[in-house]
Structure 1
Amino acid sequence: MTRAPYAADPAQHGGREFGVQRSNAGAEQRGPRSDFQRDRDRIIHSMSFRRLKSKTQVFIAPDGDHYRTRLTHSLEVAQIGRVLARALGLDEDLTEALCLAHDLGHPPFGHAGEDALSDAMTAHGGFCHNAQALRTVMRLESPYPEHDGLNLTWDLLEGLAKHNGPITEPGWALAELDAAFPLQFSAWPSLEAQIAAVSDDIAYDNHDIDDGLRAGFLDLDDLLELDFLAQQWRAVEKRFPNAPRERQLRELVRDQIGLMVNDVLEYTNAQVAGYMSVAEIRAAGQQLAGFSPAMTEHERALKKFMYDKLYYHPEQVSAATRARDVVAKLFAAYSQDATLMPNEWRQRLPAEQPDRARMIADFIAGMSDRFAMQSCAAIYGEQPSGLTNV
């Protein structure tokens, strides 16, 4: 595929926050990689990325091996992102890195954990998983001796901060990071970032259906109330009339992903016609990569269905309530008695607010579901119950 003129160029990126000059010349020779490939590899090799294997995607602490976690979800987003980036002539490595990093700021138990931290941090500036992803890669994940953070390129950080569009009112975390390394919050991000965002939508819209059906929380008859899904299902039954139902359902999910991917390609190619640089994309004043208006309406209907039938399913709501309680109890315990935290965190804990509360939130946000449950049990002497519903 020919490289598009508006593709991000790893040879002309916006720099890194820390311009490190290594004393050991050989240390720079770590393979023939572009700077965007280095970004991707730093993310994959990070502890924060590995912890995603035990963080909630839809189902909290599932017993089954086949349910998605934040890690498997991120890998699936990256796969879709690379397909779209290649077909559009964009930089695949930057797109992949953005897809892999987009959920690094999620605390244990997914959105339930985020709600609990947001409540606990109300007096200290609040908590947002998107801002926490930037905070993680720029300050918390620090494997290098010369600086804090992973020292990723400006293009990666900018896209991670605003993959959902310009930021008009940054919270405290984004504001602090932007002051240290300005990310032009008022402009639209690169097409690579926009593609990462729509890849996330495609992945969880369809893979959550797969998990919901597997868990028995979704029913095929309910799905077929959505006309565009019913049409896809009839086509699947016509092609594979004798296939087992489970295989037909998985074919439905694959077809739906393909339909959305092709829609994004057709619509985005039409939108970007005439653009000749990344700067023009950022100055466009609107989102250029995404679904067509017709697919946008279908996708909104699907999201509403998923919230009604899956995300707000009574068993899901019950588990989420218990998960919020675990995070709230952890925050309260560490706030009252810092000796409960590991030495490396306790020794760095600021004495004054809001910095003290923010570091406690950093510690909790980095936990896996399992570690949060273990920590709560160690503090309160009772294993949290009712958190696994599949």
Structure 2
Amino acid sequence: MVRSLLASDPALSRGREFAHNASETRGPRSAFQRDRDRIIHSIAFRRLKSKTQVFVAPYGDHYRTRLTHSLEVAQIGRVLARTLGLDEDLTEALCLAHDIGHPPFGHAGEKALDEASARQGGFDHNAQTLRTLMRLESPYPAHDGLNLSWEVLEGLAKHNGPVTHAHPALAELDSAYALDLPQWSSLEAQVAAVADDIAYDNHDIDDGLRAGFLHLDDLLAVDWVADGWRAVEQQYPRVERSRLLRELVRNQIGLMVNDVIEHTRAMTRDLASADEVRAAGRMLAGFSPAMHEQERQLKAFMYDRLYYHPEQVAAADKAREVVARLYAAYEQEPALMGEGWAKATPAAEPDRTRHIVDYIAGMTDRFALKQCQEIYGLVPGDLSNV
């Protein structure tokens, strides 16, 4: 691989929030490789295995969770980074960590926490990712957090581009360790963001078809997906449909990946450094206008037919009730969080609310249900719909 002039260089990293002994390398790794490894070995990363991706607390072993989704994002991100000559380790670290701040039950849990903590600024999963990595996940004796490099933290903070109105939790972290929030991020961070889109656009189709919430005939209403299906049928006329559907998803991923590579190269042709990427003032890594429109159509279909499916909405309502009940219980009686968390509960706001939110946001689906059962003697019905 030829390294691009636009790649982030770990040897030129802006450093870490807390000083560290440079002689303690623990193996021949770059700064970004160390960041990736710290993320993979963290408790917060392991908890993703039992957090909702699309389906709430699924019984089936074949449905994606936040962990498997993050691994799939990282695989796509690595391919993009390697082909574009970017730093693959930085890209992988960003892909693996991007969902660490998600609470139990996915967006349903996020909405419940946002409503419960609204008087103290609400909840944002991206800000919670930074808070988890910079303050809560603390395995080291010399400092709080994982002490990741500036480039990883910056890329995670700008998950959806520059931040002009930071969530209070993110603003507090930025005040302690400035992340240049109003500026565009590295090309690696931009690649990680589009890898996330490619992964969930296509893998959620796979899960939706498996669950029976999506049907092929409905999916073919999306014109460019229908074109892909006809091509697969023509290439494999006597193969069973289940295999063809997975081939369709693979082909769509490949189509999107190739489009991102071609478009990103065109957008960055006249740039000569990573600093010029940040100063460009616009998104450089992403879909071409034509693919962007096709992806928008697919997203609209998925929201209509899968994410807002009546059974999904019903499960999400139950999940929000679980989270809301947990918050109410801990707010009234912090001792219910357990000795360590209860003892550390601040007396003043907004720290008190944020402490309770931190506790709930770190839960897996399973642990949240267990806690609700122990506190209230019941949970609001069967949350799983697959």
Q: Give the 5 Å matches for 1:276-315.
A: 276-315=272-311
Cα distance in 2, alignment partners of residues 284 and 343 from structure 1:
50
In structure 2, give the amino acid aligned to 1:181.
Y
1:322 aligned residue (314, 318, 321): 318
Percent identity reads 69
Deviations for 1:165-207, whole angstroms, at most 9, x for unmatched residues?
Answer: 1001001011100000000011100000000000000000000
Q: Which residue of 2 aligns with 1:240?
A: 236
Q: Which residue of 2 aligns with 1:9?
A: 9
Shift of 1:358: 0.5
Does the CA-based 8 Å contact 2:50-2:364 persist in structure 1? yes
Q: Which residue of 1 aligns with 2:197?
A: 201
Deviations for 1:317-339, whole angstroms, at most 9, x for unmatched residues?
Answer: 00000000000000000000111
Does the CA-based 8 Å contact 1:48-1:104 persist in structure 2? yes
Shift of 1:386: 2.4
1:225 aligned residue (196, 216, 221): 221
Does the CA-based 8 Å contact 1:377-1:384 persist in structure 2? no
2:65 aligned residue (54, 66, 69): 69
In structure 2, give the amino acid aligned to 1:193.
A
Shift of 1:359: 0.4
Shift of 1:29: 4.0
Unaligned runs of 5+ in 2: none
Cα distance in 2, alignment partners of residues 194 and 386 from structure 1:
39
In structure 1, give the amino acid aligned to 2:17.
E
2:77 aligned residue (76, 81, 94): 81
Of 203-212 and 378-387, more deviation after overlay is shown by 378-387
Is 2:148 aligned against 1:152?
yes
Shift of 1:274: 1.5
Deviations for 1:287-337, whole angstroms, at most 9, x for unmatched residues?
Answer: 000000000000000000000000000000000000000000000000001
Cα distance in 2, alignment partners of residues 224 and 21 from structure 1:
57
Normalising by the residue count of structure 2, what TM-score does the alignment of the two structures yield? 0.99
Cα distance in 1, alignment partners of residues 72 and 168 from structure 2:
31
Q: Give the 5 Å matches for 1:1-390.
A: 1-21=1-21, 28-390=24-386
| Structure 2 residue matching 1:3: 3-state secondary structure | coil
Of 101-110 and 346-355, more deviation after overlay is shown by 346-355
Deviations for 1:22-52, whole angstroms, at most 9, x for unmatched residues?
Answer: 8xx6xx2411110000000000000000000
| Structure 2 residue matching 1:58: 3-state secondary structure | coil
Cα distance in 1, alignment partners of residues 316 and 203 from structure 2:
20
Shift of 1:141: 0.4
Shift of 1:384: 3.8
Deviations for 1:247-274, whole angstroms, at most 9, x for unmatched residues?
Answer: 0000000000000000000000000002
Shift of 1:383: 3.6
Cα distance in 2, alignment partners of residues 21 and 289 from structure 1:
35
Deviations for 1:41-84, whole angstroms, at most 9, x for unmatched residues?
Answer: 00000000000000000000000000000000000000000000
Does the CA-based 8 Å contact 2:91-2:192 persist in structure 1? yes
Does the CA-based 8 Å contact 1:82-1:96 persist in structure 2? yes
Does the CA-based 8 Å contact 2:322-2:379 persist in structure 1? no
Does the CA-based 8 Å contact 2:232-2:247 persist in structure 1? yes
Cα distance in 1, alignment partners of residues 13 and 361 from structure 2:
30
| Structure 1 residue matching 2:324: 3-state secondary structure | helix
In structure 2, give the amino acid aligned to 1:11.
A
Cα distance in 1, alignment partners of residues 115 and 152 from structure 2:
29
Does the CA-based 8 Å contact 1:376-1:384 persist in structure 2? no
Unaligned runs of 5+ in 1: none
- Compute the RMSD of aligned alpha carbons: 0.8
Aligned length: 386
In structure 2, give the amino acid aligned to 1:146.
A
Normalising by the residue count of structure 1, what TM-score does the alignment of the two structures yield? 0.98
In structure 1, give the amino acid aligned to 2:142.
E
Does the CA-based 8 Å contact 2:131-2:173 persist in structure 1? yes
Does the CA-based 8 Å contact 2:321-2:380 persist in structure 1? no
Does the CA-based 8 Å contact 2:330-2:336 persist in structure 1? yes
In structure 2, give the amino acid aligned to 1:125.
G
Cα distance in 2, alignment partners of residues 6 and 225 from structure 1:
40
